[in-house]
Amino acid sequence: MRVNKLIVVFIVTGLFNNCNFKPKYSNVDDYYVRYAGWDYARIPLQKPFELYYLKANNGWYINTSKLEIGLEDALIPNVLGDFGIIDLIFCDSIYIYCHKLAHTSQDTNEINSPELWFLVDLEKQKFIHYIDQQEFTNFVNLRNFEQMKSPDFYFKIFKNDRILPWFNDTIKESISNWK
């Protein structure tokens, strides 16, 4: 009886050793396919930037701590670090386009952080802000302003398809091959 159990254990171990347990998207960087964890949701923008939604918070944020800021941006509180609430977003290979809602303190009812239209210049790794929508739209006039949508809009696309409009063709093809 003991010999039979040992034989079964060896057979099962041999079967598992020969199995290939690769994740579905094994040839694609996890950055491009991971959309959530147990306490967060995320949207990849251009590596290493991403939007994230912590379940304890009530909005989408972007981490800008890797960016350089100009002197004029240093006057805006909380420019570097976790920055939100982001309500409009788009991304291409040059810029991440964002609109951030004003944040009001619940205790004092004062504005802690103003409404901002801003860009992340991916090539220069720089944060560029605009005080109002008109100034922002003048800059992005010939770019992708009309494609700025709610992060929830892009999250639904990403969760279902794992492909976002700003992914390059190589990434799109790699992900499509696994569908």
- For 75-115, what is each residue's pLDDT tens digit? 454 455 677 889 999 998 889 999 988 877 778 878 777 78
Q: Per the domain annotation, does 137 fall within a domain?
A: yes
Query: What pLDDT score does 138 carry?
Result: 84
Q: Per the domain annotation, does 162 fall within a domain?
A: yes
- The CA distance from 99 to 119, in Å, is 9
pTM (2 d.p.):
0.74
Q: Per the domain annotation, does 54 fall within a domain?
A: yes
Question: Residue 52: pLDDT above 90?
Answer: yes
User: Which of 145, 92, 156, 153 has the alpha carbon at shortest distance from 123?
Assistant: 92
Q: Per the domain annotation, does 18 fall within a domain?
A: no
According to DSSP, residue 164 is labeled -
Number of domains into which the chain is organized? 1
- Containing domain of residue 116, as a range? 28-176
Q: Per the domain annotation, does 23 fall within a domain?
A: no
Q: Per the domain annotation, does 115 fall within a domain?
A: yes
Q: Per the domain annotation, does 110 fall within a domain?
A: yes
- For 12-40, what is each residue's pLDDT tens digit? 444 444 333 334 555 788 889 988 888 99
Query: What pLDDT score does 140 carry?
Result: 79
**Edge-to-edge strands, sheet with 82-91:** 40-44, 50-54, 60-63, 82-91, 95-100, 116-121, 126-130, 68-69
Q: Per the domain annotation, does 37 fall within a domain?
A: yes
